[in-house]
């Protein structure tokens, strides 16, 4: 027994040094001596030279992986316990590991307490198994040892007579099942079986067969004797025969059986199965379960000649909530959304979360369109009421697309695709509504899809072009800055303005590589102008909200300044008011970090959104740009003139630079001059030009003063 009392040694097998070392340190802290192996080959070498009571084994490793190590251990018949510690979250991986002989499975990242508990349980189980093995050997020599083994077994051991009445049970009956021996012996086995399992137990517990034909690993539920819990036991039973009888066939006299408590293992397996088929945040079905249910529904619809409906649901404005109030409130909102949707559907319908703020709903049997639209109307109406989340009153309408079987498709993928197309059509027509799919919607969807594909190719083929439009000092008539603008000359689609492709680029995330291209182009041009002595006061670049929200955005800008050896004061970043609405302290912090580099911050399209003096005070804004929508009729429209006058007065009072966009006429220029607006840009001075053309303009640096501009109709190179 001294060998069993020794402190168990543990082998940690993981190809990631940080995880391997931290795990060894953790084991040492808890008093377990450990060794480390950086892969499958090292693990085998370590096991060849030393025995380990326990192995903490990673599955996914280069070279020899965890499964091969377990195969090798089985082949070598090594007496060691294995706990798989893996980052693979699939249920198949866990099941495979357990089938390979692992005693437990732990997912990365794990809680320390969970790891220590699993180690203690595994070592305790191993110690018990070794003790039982040792006791087994001794019981061969003595009946006393036999009794000891039976009553010390962690499993429930019993015998029944030929009629199914208990004739013997070990002491485990009390600690495991909560019954005293005296209350069990003499009673029929059915007394202790869950009512729904009695029929199955009839052929398992009262087994008449022996050898390989005997019942094994059969799960039966038994209510606990003193607690309101239901245990799951795994039964192995064998028939007992009186072979001393002279009859040709031995007489059946009863059953011998062993039952193992697998309640916790069963719960763990059920949890793994639940997690594999459900969204953990909302508790709804996930994509996999939804597709399984849809596949079954289609098969039944084909068989019984009835229709079904599939809805694709998408929350409107969820991204604004998530970005503005944070992911915790966003998650709580999704939980409440799921609960509200559940109240709108029937029993038998399948509601699933596809991911993000997208949901799907399967109505497996519908009689007509009216029944489907009633459900859609019910959802739209339900989402007209606000959600109260952590003190915030949030309105998140729902856009719904509907596809019907078999009218709109007879396969899973076709129905999902067409419902998705209908949902996008719903968004395009105003949101907070539903649309039933029609083939005409494919044209719009295909156009979007084609445009996205062409944008990917445009990045690869350098089809995007950066142009520059000069900004003019109104007092001197000289060029004071350049705004960097983007154009796309597509061989397939022709020349496209940003308004035609930027919204889709924002939606798909392609705006990030496009924005990086624009920034690098601007920095390259700035360096060329600097070396030529032609650099204007600043170069303005429009910044995408999605790019600004990236964690590495500030580092990217700092890297560009170092890489091109340029000062931050040469540049101005233009942001929109909608970006300020997505507030969050992280946006404020990023803009201050950019400002600290010397880069100016300009607020673009001022006056068209949610203009607020609080934004101008809270954010490090240096410049505001009067939106070009105020310029048409500026010199004759009293309302536009009043707005521009108010903006100019406000900017002067707050010591902010002011730039007017879209200036096309000399009388507009003269009025801006009278209002002491600082700068202007527009076709009156120059259209956007390529880098080469704008360089020629800088060389000429046409120093037209305000007197000349007031008497001319244009200023164009």
Residue 505: pLDDT over 50: yes
What is the model's pLDDT at position 142? Answer: 60
Residue 169: pLDDT over 80: yes
| Distance from C-alpha of 24 to C-alpha of 11, rounded to nearest angstrom | 9
Return the higher-pLDDT residue of 481 and 588. 481
Residue 88: pLDDT over 90: no
310 φ, ψ (degrees, to nearest 5) = -125, 130
Domain with CATH 3.30.70.270 in the chain: 280-439
Give the bridge partners for 159, in sequence order.
168, 256
Residue 635: pLDDT over 80: no
Give the bridge partners for 235, in sequence order.
218, 259
Domain with CATH 3.30.450.20 in the chain: 153-268
Answer whether the bond into residue 470 is a cis peptide, omega within 30°.
Answer: no
Q: Which residue intervals of 244-317 are DSSP H helices?
A: 263-277, 287-304
* 611 close to 633: Cβ distance less than 8 angstroms: no
Select from 188, 191, 272, 192 the least CA-distant residue to 231.
192
What is the model's pLDDT at position 2? Answer: 45
- 144 vs 108, 135, 138, 170, 551, CA distance in Å? 46, 11, 9, 14, 70
Is the torsion defined by CA of 6, 19, 268, 206 positive or negative?
Answer: negative
- The residues, ordered by sequence, that sit 6+ positions from 630 with a Cβ below 8 Å of its Cβ are 607, 640, 643, 644, 662
How many separate helices (H) and strands (E) can be counted in the chain?
A: 28, 26
- Highest average pLDDT, of 534-548, 560-574, 611-625, 633-647, comes from 560-574
What is the model's pLDDT at position 55? Answer: 92
Confidence band, pLDDT 50/70/90 cuts, at residue 139 = low
Is the torsion defined by CA of 429, 431, 433, 436 positive or negative?
Answer: positive
Residue 713: pLDDT over 70: no
Parallel, antiparallel or unpaired: strands 10-13 and 54-57: parallel
Task: Kindly state the DSSP code that residue 665 receives in the 8-state scheme.
Answer: S
Residue 34: pLDDT over 60: yes
SS3 call for 11: strand
The secondary structure of 165-222, three-state, reads EEEEECCHHHHHHCCCHHHHCCCEHHHHCCHHHHHHHHHHCCCCCCHHHCCCCEEEEE
Task: Kindly state the DSSP code that residue 521 receives in the 8-state scheme.
Answer: H
- 282 vs 311, 334, 335, 358, 661, CA distance in Å? 18, 7, 5, 12, 48
Read off the pLDDT of residues 197-243 as tens digits, 9 standing for 90 and up: 888 888 778 777 877 777 778 889 999 988 889 999 998 888 888 87
| Average of per-residue pLDDT across 364-380 | 92
Confidence band, pLDDT 50/70/90 cuts, at residue 109 = confident
What is the model's pLDDT at position 3? Answer: 43
Buried b (16+ CB within 10 A) or exposed e, 186-208: eeebeebbeeebeebbeebbbbb
What superfamily would CATH give domain 153-268?
PAS domain (3.30.450.20)
Q: What percent of the chain has pLDDT over 90?
A: 36
Confidence band, pLDDT 50/70/90 cuts, at residue 144 = low
What is the model's pLDDT at position 717? Answer: 30
- 303 vs 311, 407, 408, 449, 709, CA distance in Å? 22, 16, 18, 35, 80
Question: What count of other Cβ atoms lies within 10 Å of the Cβ of residue 365?
Answer: 16
The answer to which of 418-427, 490-499, 522-531, 703-712 has the lowest mean pLDDT is 703-712
Considering only CA atoms, give the Rg of the chain: 37
The answer to which of 94-108, 537-551, 703-717 has the lowest mean pLDDT is 703-717
Select from 566, 537, 571, 532 the least CA-distant residue to 696.
532
pTM comes to 0.46
Report residue 310 as tokens: 């599939």
**279 CB-side CA count, 13 A:** 22
SS3 call for 452: helix
CATH match for 280-439 among 3.40.50.300, 3.30.930.10, 3.30.70.270, 3.40.50.620: 3.30.70.270
| Distance from C-alpha of 537 to C-alpha of 540, rounded to nearest angstrom | 10
CATH architecture of 471-711: Alpha-Beta Barrel (3.20)
Give the bridge partners for 53, in sequence order.
none
The answer to which of 52-61, 137-146, 665-674 has the lowest mean pLDDT is 137-146
| Distance from C-alpha of 186 to C-alpha of 191, rounded to nearest angstrom | 11
**590 CB-side CA count, 13 A:** 23
| Distance from C-alpha of 598 to C-alpha of 146, rounded to nearest angstrom | 85
Domain with CATH 3.40.50.2300 in the chain: 2-139
Residue 609: pLDDT over 90: no
What is the model's pLDDT at position 629? Answer: 76
What is the model's pLDDT at position 185? Answer: 93
| Average of per-residue pLDDT across 299-311 | 94
Report residue 52 as tokens: 């380990």
Mean of the per-residue pLDDT values for the chain? 85
- 501 vs 317, 409, 423, CA distance in Å? 21, 31, 20
**Owner of token pair 């302290």:** 585
* 422 close to 369: Cβ distance less than 8 angstroms: no
What is the model's pLDDT at position 339? Answer: 95
Residue 714: pLDDT over 50: no
What superfamily would CATH give domain 2-139?
Response regulator (3.40.50.2300)
Q: What percent of the chain has pLDDT over 70?
A: 90
Residue 151: pLDDT over 90: no
């Amino acid at each position: 027994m001294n060998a069993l009392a020794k402190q168990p040694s543990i082998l940690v097998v993981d190809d990631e040094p940080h995880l391997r070392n931290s795990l060894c340190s953790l084991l040492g802290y808890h008093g377990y001596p450990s060794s480390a192996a950086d892969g499958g080959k090292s693990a085998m070498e370590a096991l060849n030279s030393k025995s380990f009571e326990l192995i903490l084994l990673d599955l996914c490793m280069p070279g020899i992986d965890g499964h091969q190590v377990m195969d090798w251990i089985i082949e070598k018949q090594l007496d060691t316990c294995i706990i798989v510690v893996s980052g693979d979250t699939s249920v198949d991986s866990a099941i495979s590991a357990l089938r390979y002989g692992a005693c437990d499975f732990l997912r990365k990242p794990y809680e320390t307490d969970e790891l220590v508990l699993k180690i203690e349980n595994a070592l305790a189980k191993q110690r018990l198994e070794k003790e039982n093995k040792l006791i087994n050997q001794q019981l061969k020599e003595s009946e006393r040892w036999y009794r000891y083994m039976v009553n010390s077994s962690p499993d429930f051991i019993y015998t029944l007579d030929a009629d199914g009445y208990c004739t013997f049970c070990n002491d485990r009956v009390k600690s495991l099942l909560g019954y005293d021996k005296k209350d069990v012996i003499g009673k029929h086995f059915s007394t202790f079986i869950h009512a729904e399992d009695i029929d199955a137990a009839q052929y398992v517990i009262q087994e008449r067969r022996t050898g390989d034909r005997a019942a094994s690993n059969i799960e039966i539920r038994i209510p606990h004797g003193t607690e309101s819990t239901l245990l799951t036991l795994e039964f192995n039973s064998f028939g007992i025969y009186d072979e001393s009888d002279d009859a040709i066939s031995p007489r059946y006299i009863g059953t011998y059986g062993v039952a193992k408590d697998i309640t916790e293992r069963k719960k763990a397996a059920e949890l793994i199965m639940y997690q594999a088929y459900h969204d953990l945040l909302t508790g709804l079905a996930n994509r996999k379960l939804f597709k399984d249910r849809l596949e079954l529904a289609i098969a039944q619809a084909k068989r019984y000649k009835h229709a079904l409906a599939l809805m694709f649901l998408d929350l409107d404005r969820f991204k604004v909530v998530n970005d503005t109030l944070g992911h915790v409130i966003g998650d709580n909102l999704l939980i409440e959304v799921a609960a509200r949707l559940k109240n709108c559907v029937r029993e038998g319908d399948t509601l699933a979360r596809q991911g993000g703020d997208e949901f799907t709903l399967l109505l497996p049997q519908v009689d007509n369109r009216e029944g489907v639209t009633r459900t859609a109307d019910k959802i739209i109406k339900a989402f007209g009421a606000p959600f109260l989340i952590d003190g915030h009153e949030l309105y998140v309408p729902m856009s719904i697309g509907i596809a019907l079987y078999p009218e709109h498709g007879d396969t899973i993928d076709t129905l999902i695709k067409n419902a998705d197309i209908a949902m996008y059509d719903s968004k395009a027509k105003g949101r907070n509504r539903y649309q039933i799919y029609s083939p005409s919607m494919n044209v719009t969807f295909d156009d979007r899809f084609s445009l996205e594909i062409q944008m990917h190719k445009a990045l690869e083929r350098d089809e995007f072009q950066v142009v520059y439009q000069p900004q003019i000092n109104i007092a001197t008539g000289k060029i004071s800055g350049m705004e960097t603008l983007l154009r796309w000359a597509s061989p397939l689609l022709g020349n496209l303005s940003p308004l035609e492709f930027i919204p889709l680029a924002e939606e798909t995330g392609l705006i990030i590589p496009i924005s990086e291209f624009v920034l690098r182009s601007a920095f390259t041009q700035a360096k060329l102008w600097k070396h030529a002595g032609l650099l204007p006061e600043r170069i303005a670049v429009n910044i995408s909200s999605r790019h600004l929200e990236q964690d590495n955005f500030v580092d990217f800008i700092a890297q560009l300044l170092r890489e091109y050896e340029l000062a931050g004061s040469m540049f101005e970043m233009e942001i929109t008011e909608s970006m300020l609405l997505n507030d969050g302290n992280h946006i404020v912090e990023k803009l201050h970090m950019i400002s600290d580099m010397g880069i100016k911050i300009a607020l673009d399209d001022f006056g068209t959104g949610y203009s607020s003096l609080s934004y101008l005070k809270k954010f490090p804004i240096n410049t505001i740009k009067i939106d070009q929508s105020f310029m048409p009729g500026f010199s004759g429209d009293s309302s536009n003139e009043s707005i521009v006058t108010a903006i100019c007065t406000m900017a002067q009072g707050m010591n902010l630079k002011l730039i007017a966009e879209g200036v096309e006429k000399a009388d507009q220029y003269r009025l801006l001059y009278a209002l002491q607006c600082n700068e202007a840009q527009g076709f009156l001075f120059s259209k956007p030009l390529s880098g080469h053309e704008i360089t020629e303009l800088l060389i000429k640096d046409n120093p037209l003063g305000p007197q000349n501009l007031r008497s001319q109709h244009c200023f164009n190179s």
